[in-house]
Amino acid sequence: MNDNTVKQITTDDLRHMEDKEGLILQGCGGDPQEWVDGINGLLTEAGILLEGSKFEDVSSFQHDGVTCLLFPFEGAKLDGSRLAMWRIQTHEQFGGTWLSDYVPNRLGGFITQEQVPQKPKMELAGQDGNIFGIMGRASRLLKRSGQHEQADEMFSRVTACGSYYEALNIISEYVETELSPKSEPQKSTKKKERNAHKR
């Protein structure tokens, strides 16, 4: 009956939801919409969802080989203390946890805007012209700065591209090289940045 489709998100998306809260259920195999309808029904019967409200904009994500669902609190009228009790009572069954607990405990914490990783710097001058060697070096730099997904994405794009120079330009989107476009300096959180732009 619910025409809200469950959207697929990544654990990276969750790490950018510091200002949100919600209920995460783990191990939700099968049709996600059936889960949403079922949980909405259960929580309505239990007097947790109030005044005919229900969880909408539910998202699905994969972590550690299991499908999980995020039920955001936004827009739902809830009896918070009853929901907390229900979560504890059904923990064996659903692995229920709060978004604000799940991200720090399972995903390494939230990423705030200031923590968006900087591009590592890498010089192309003096490289031996072996694109796989250059890509390997860029990949190591990205992984060292915690950007594993970017390293994998860069690898896929470089191996699928058609020329050496296109590959260099792709690499230069992920690490800062002589070919990278000069971006406007952002408000830096690093004190070590030059103070030349400060008045």
d(CA 103, CA 110) in angstroms, rounded, equals 6
Say if residues 172 and 135 touch (Cβ distance below 8 Å). no
Joined tokens for residue 45:
């019967």
Q: Is the pTM of this model over 0.85?
A: no
Whole-Å CA distances, 147 to 56, 57, 137:
32, 28, 14
**Which residues does the chain have with pLDDT short of 50?**
1-3, 184-199
Strand partners, 24: 70, 97
Q: What is the pLDDT of residue 7?
A: 93
Joined tokens for residue 17:
């939801």
**Distance between start and end Cα atoms, the chain:** 60
Q: Model confidence over 81-98: pLDDT tens digits?
A: 999 999 999 999 999 999
Q: Which domains does the chain have, with CATH numbers?
A: 7-106 (3.30.70), 117-174 (no CATH)
